[in-house]
Amino acid sequence: MVDQILYAMFPTVVSLIGVGALTTGLAWWLGLEQPWIQPWAILRATVQLALLSVVLSGVLTHVPLTLAFLGVMVGVASLTIRQRLQLSFQSLPVIAGVVIIAVAVPMLLVFGTHALPLEGRYLLSIGGILIGHSMIASTLMGREVSQALTQHVQDVEGWLALGAPMRLATRSVMRRAGSTAVIAGTDQTRNIGVVTLPGAFVGAVFGGASVLEAGRFQLLVSSSILLVGVLVVAMWTYILGNPKTIHR
């Protein structure tokens, strides 16, 4: 039995090694930041998916355990955002608050309207996707704000010199950064079925759902992703628009 499993996994291992090696080589040649981080991400994903498959067998049947697992995901996402934006550990409650609110609002709408039953498998699948997108949007927003403030510092200082409050002085910067933060989710949603085959749809079909049911599930996920994006932008606009509200 073990030999059969190892034999079946061999092509996958070879493929992963090839993809990882090529990714690392190209990243190194292009001079990207931390070129080793791509193969490390693949290795981490392998270990984490193995652990996830074990944990989920007990989590999915109990809603409280599912919510606890989502809490762990929020914590990891918050730590990742903090690291990417180079914020202090004191800012973690603020970051976690942004993620929780951005994810909770669409989930309350989806489950509160009974569009989906309140079951562990749906909570975890939608919650995990939304937490991931809130992490991506937060990182993009923070990085774009930092870069834009550096490039347009004279504009901001000009507004401040005229007596404008900080939030007004940074408004144009926040708008540009917010537009960048939501563009990935927006493009992915409007190009469903034309450019992309979304994971939630494909996973539902592979799981035995009808195409109609899979499409309904994907629409709920995609619309929730868009809401998460604008909620993240709204909260970070308020927070980053006044630097005193967050610790660096």
- From 24, 42, 59, the end of a domain falls on 59
Q: Domain boundary at 18, 44, 59, which? A: 59
pLDDT digits (tens, 9 = 90+) for 216-235: 888 888 889 989 999 999 89
What average pLDDT is seen over the chain? 79
Q: What is the pLDDT of residue 66?
A: 83
Residues 185 and 227 in one domain: yes
Indicate whether 111 and 19 sit together in one domain.
no
Does residue 247 have a pLDDT over 60?
no
Q: How many domains are contained in the chain? A: 2
Asked if 105 and 228 sit in the same domain, the reply is yes
**Containing domain of residue 82, as a range?**
62-245
Spatial neighbors of 153 by CB under 8 A, at least 6 apart, are none
- Count of positions (residues) in the chain: 248
Same structural domain, 233 and 202: yes
- CA distances in angstroms from 116 to 45, 166, 189, 195, listed in the order given: 28, 42, 20, 27
Shared-domain flag, residues 106 and 198:
yes
Residues 173 and 83 in one domain: yes
pLDDT tens digits for range 94-110 = 999 999 999 999 999 99
| Predicted TM-score (pTM) of this structure | 0.76
Please report, for residues 96, 209, 220, the alpha-carbon distance to residue 112 in angstroms, rounded to integers and kept in the order given.
23, 22, 13
Of the three residues 59, 87, 107, the one that is the final residue of a domain is 59
d(CA 135, CA 68): 18
Q: Mind listing the pLDDT tens digit for each residue in 171-228?
A: 777 788 888 888 888 887 777 766 666 666 666 666 666 777 777 888 888 889 989 9
- For residues 69 and 21, state if they share a domain: no
pLDDT-based confidence at residue 39 (cuts at 50, 70, 90)? confident
| Range among 4-8, 114-118, 134-138, 201-205 with highest mean pLDDT value | 134-138
Residue 91 and residue 44 in one domain: no
Please give the Cα distance from 103 to 1 (Å, whole number): 42
If asked whether residues 155 and 142 sit together in one domain, one would say yes
Co-location of 39 and 71 in the same domain: no
- 80 plus 150 within the same structural domain: yes
Same domain assignment for residues 52 and 141: no
pLDDT of residue 138: 92
